[in-house]
Amino acid sequence: MFDRDLWREIFQSINMNRTRSLLSGFTVAFAISLFAILFGVVNGLVNTFDTAFVDDAANSIFINSGRTSKANKGLQAGRQIQFTNDDYQYIKDEFGDKVQYITSRIYRNVNASFGNEKNNYNVRAVHPDHQFLENTKVEFGRYINQLDIDNNTKVIVIGRLVEEDLFLKTTALGKYVNLNGIQYKVVGVFSDDGGDNEERLIYMPLSTAQQIYGNNDYVDQINLTYNPDMSFDQAIGFSTTLTKKLKDRFSVSQNDQRAIRVRNLANESKAITQMTSGLGVMVLVIGFGTLIAGIVGISNMMIFIVKERTKEIGVRKALGASPKSIVSIILLESILVTVIAGFVGLFIGMGVIELAKPVLEEYFIKDPSVSLSVVIAATITLIVAGGIAGYLPAKKASKIKPIVALRND
Amino acid sequence: MLKINKLHKSYPIGDSSLHVLKGIDLSVEDGEMVAIMGSSGSGKSTLLNIIGMLDEADEGEYILDGVPIKNLTEKKAAIYRNKFLGFIFQSFNLINYKNAVENVALPLYYQGLKRKERIEKAMFHLEKVGLSNWATHLPNELSGGQKQRVAIARALAANPKLLLADEPTGALDTTTSYEIMDFIQSLNDEGKTILMVTHEEDIANMCKRIVRLKDGVIMEDVFVNQVRASANV
């Protein structure tokens, strides 16, 4: 197979049938470049969806409350449902290992000042788990911890842009910021991939906020992530049970869509995963379909070549060529044409993707690319395809009788 | 060298079959130069095919250099052809995209020789047919006579025991034919056993023995006084 002379023979033969090889190779090149382009675009779509989720963990569940829209158990419609620390604890106790991280949230808006700099910011009062739910990256210092919650400490973790706004070129860590007249110590500075708004936030311990803004145990929202070992369907089942139990707990009708709202990202993730895998299958079908057309083209060419070279093959056999050597010439020639054409197609496809990147980005296709594993898989596929394309012609060639060499035409 | 006993061969034609060879007995010794003659349909080509292992007899015995040729697989036939036989064809059958020396080296390739060795041997044989200056030329750059000489060099390359020629001068003009015959005669002088099919009397008379076939049987098998081709050139 790695005999240099055999390859010399093959290259001579391809060279002799240059136009024909080129034309047949074209279909394969077209198939592979089409596949590469489609694959890259799908890849880009997947990347877009992935980045859409970087702000929040993909296994997040958000629980919000509102007013009841239906009367239930003798209670009137229009009743405000208010979560408290007890509900947070209830979820934790009730669902135990199904919950990965859980946090309550309180939203407030504050006027913050440091020295002469003043600005208005949103504050989120949270539990320590919130860091993992939001994919918050602590750049300096630390995040809110359990001790802060236990002791109602007046500490805050500020966004990168808050530090920029208030502290200009100096560092915020360890300094005291005035929020609506109360001094808070900055214990950490964070960044977030979710965009500028996410980096203009201030985090403080939940208990501190509850004490200062109302002296109650109310929470505005409870966020959690489900155990990532769960499948999408399990996760969706989990949030359904959770919703049902919470509705019972607050005597809310099961049909009430407004009083307690549970949003599970698993629903969206599932839909997206299904869509992308659907697209992936489609790309494979299209790619393989075109590739099969290419194989037929090459097979056709090889059959023609065998027919055209019948006499030559007969002469070779008369001179002592074994059937095996004839088969390997035809088979390797077919594989070589397929592989070369395939790689040309692959590079064209990758080139097109690379060139079209800026345009595609406008259509929410981010960083489309073809990975190395795809290239390797494509190579193997091409070799197999070439083999299939060459099989029939090679078999035909091996059956040529050397007697044709004596025919005079 | 070659011994054939009661050789029969028939070809199916539709429902019936055509009996082409009807019991051929022939024996050729080392160093002979035999012409097989006959009109078309006499079975001379079929006989040559069987001797050349391109076809197999239905019945009878064929022994080549002490080896019974029987029940050959394709692979074995290929090895025997390569080892025992050198073919010279009427239409030369050079491979048109290979140059002269590559054509000559082809049987050596199938013997598994290394490229360097092959080219060396092929050049030696090209030299012998007087075409070493044309080694890198493609067949379509050569004249008919030159092509046939390259083909002869190719037939000689594997150093076969028997040279089989099928109308070697059929595609050449008289002058060139005689040149080629002169060369074949000189090979025979060196001791090569040569068997050729021809239907030209003058060419047949340049052999040492003429076997005439008619309707699948040998009509005549005579030793003749060899006419030297060089006398006619």
Write the pLDDT tens digit of every residue in A321-380: 888 888 988 888 888 888 888 889 888 988 888 888 777 777 767 777 777 787 788 878
pLDDT computed for residue A408 by the predictor = 61
Give domain limits for chain B.
Answer: 2-231
List chain A residues with CB under 8 Å of B89.
315, 405-406
Interface contact A13, partner B, CB < 8 A: yes
- Is A109 in the B-facing interface, judged by CB distances under 8 Å? no
**Rounded CA separation B95/A16 (Å):** 12
Residue A375 CA to residue A65 CA, distance in Å, equals 50
In a 3-state reduction of DSSP, which class is residue A400? coil
Of A331, A282, A341, A274, residue with least CA distance to A302: A331
Strand pairing class (A99-114; A221-226): antiparallel
Q: Are B43 and B213 in contact (CB under 8 A)?
A: yes
A312: which chain B residues are within 8 Å (Cβ-Cβ)?
95
Tokens representing A24 are: 């047949």
DSSP state of A69: S
Interface ipTM > 0.95 = no
Question: Are A319 and B87 a contacting pair at CB < 8 A?
Answer: yes
Q: Which residues of A51-78 are buried (b: 16+ CB within 10 A; e: fewer)?
A: eebebbbbbbbbbbbeebbbebeeeeee
Task: Tell me the mean pLDDT per 10 residues along chain B, length 233.
Answer: 91 87 92 92 87 88 89 86 90 89 91 89 92 92 92 92 90 90 92 92 93 92 90 73
Q: pLDDT confidence of A23, banded at 50, 70, 90? A: confident
* Binary contact (A5, B166; C-beta < 8 A): no
Confidence band, pLDDT 50/70/90 cuts, at residue A53 = low
Provide the edge-to-edge strand list for the sheet that holds B217-223.
B85-88, B162-166, B193-197, B33-37, B209-214, B217-223
Count Cβ atoms below 10 Å from residue A273 Cβ, excluding itself. 15
Q: Do A318 and B54 touch (CB under 8 A)?
A: yes
Contacts of residue B74 in chain A, CB cutoff 8 Å?
Answer: 322-323, 398
Assess A406–B contact: CB distance below 8 Å, yes or no.
yes
Please answer yes or no on whether B110 and A5 come within 8 Å at the CB atom.
no
According to CATH, the topology of domain B2-231 is Rossmann fold (3.40.50)
Q: What is the pLDDT of residues A182-237, one digit of tens each?
A: 889 999 999 887 778 888 889 999 988 888 887 788 888 998 888 888 888 888 88
Contact between B88 and B151 under an 8 Å Cβ cutoff? The reply is yes
Report yes or no: A3 at the B interface, CB cutoff 8 Å: no
CB contact under 8 A, B154 and A408: no
Three-state SS for B15-42 is CEEEEEEEEEEEEECCCCEEEEECCCCC
Mean pLDDT of chain A: 84
For residues A279-286, give the mean pLDDT: 84
User: Hey, what are B129's tokens?
Assistant: 């047919």
Q: Are A196 and A161 in contact (CB under 8 A)?
A: yes
Give DSSP secondary structure letters for B57-103: -SEEEEEETTEE--S--HHHHHHHHHHHEEEE-TT----TTS-HHHH
Put simply, the answer to whether B54 touches A325 (Cβ < 8 Å) is: no
Read off the tokens for A149. 């919650």
CA dihedral B109, B115, B119, B121 (to 10 degrees): -60
User: For residue range A243-269, what is the model confidence (pLDDT) as tens digits?
Assistant: 888 888 888 888 888 888 888 887 877
Contact A403 B55 (CB under 8 A): yes
Contact present, A1 and A324 (Cβ < 8 Å): no
How far does the CA of residue A272 sit from the closest CA of chain B (Å)? 57
Asked whether the beta carbons of residue B110 and residue A322 sit closer than 8 angstroms, the reply is yes
CB contact under 8 A, B107 and A319: yes
Give yes or no for A323 touching B (CB within 8 A): yes
pLDDT at A405 over 80: no
For chains A and B, count residue pairs whose Cβ atoms are closer than 8 Å. 74
Write the burial class of residue B189 (CB in 10 Å: 0-12 exposed, 13-18 middle, 19+ buried): exposed
CA distance A84 to A107: 14
CA B213 – CA B7 distance, rounded (Å) = 13
Structure letter (DSSP) for residue A136: -
B47 forms bridges with which residues in the sheet?
none
**Are A402 and B154 an interchain contact pair (Cβ–Cβ within 8 Å)?**
no
Pairing of strands A182-191, A155-159: parallel
This model's pTM is above 0.80: no
3-state DSSP assignment of residue A358:
helix
Using a CB–CB cutoff of 8 Å, tell me whether A22 touches chain B: no
CB–CB contact B75 A324 (8 Å): yes
Q: A37 CA to chain B: closest CA distance, Å?
A: 39
Question: Can you tell me the mean pLDDT for A123-140?
Answer: 87
- Domain borders along chain A are 4-52+271-406, 82-249
Please give the DSSP secondary-structure letter assigned to residue A79: P
**8 Å CB contact of A311 and B93:** yes
Q: Is A54's pLDDT higher than 60?
A: no
Residue A181 DSSP symbol: T
Token pair, residue A163, equals: 């530090």
Who among A12, A322, A408 is closest to B90 (CB)? A408
Min CA distance, B79 vs chain A (Å)? 6
> Residues A279-285: contacts with CB within 8 Å, 24+ apart?
A279/A42, A279/A45, A280/A42, A283/A35, A283/A38, A283/A39, A283/A42
Q: Which residue in A has a C-alpha nearest to residue B77's C-alpha?
A: A320
The single-letter code of the amino acid at A105 is: R
Query: A126 by DSSP, 3-state: which?
Result: strand
Q: Give the pLDDT of residue A1.
A: 45
Contacts of B116 (CB under 8 A, 6+ apart): none
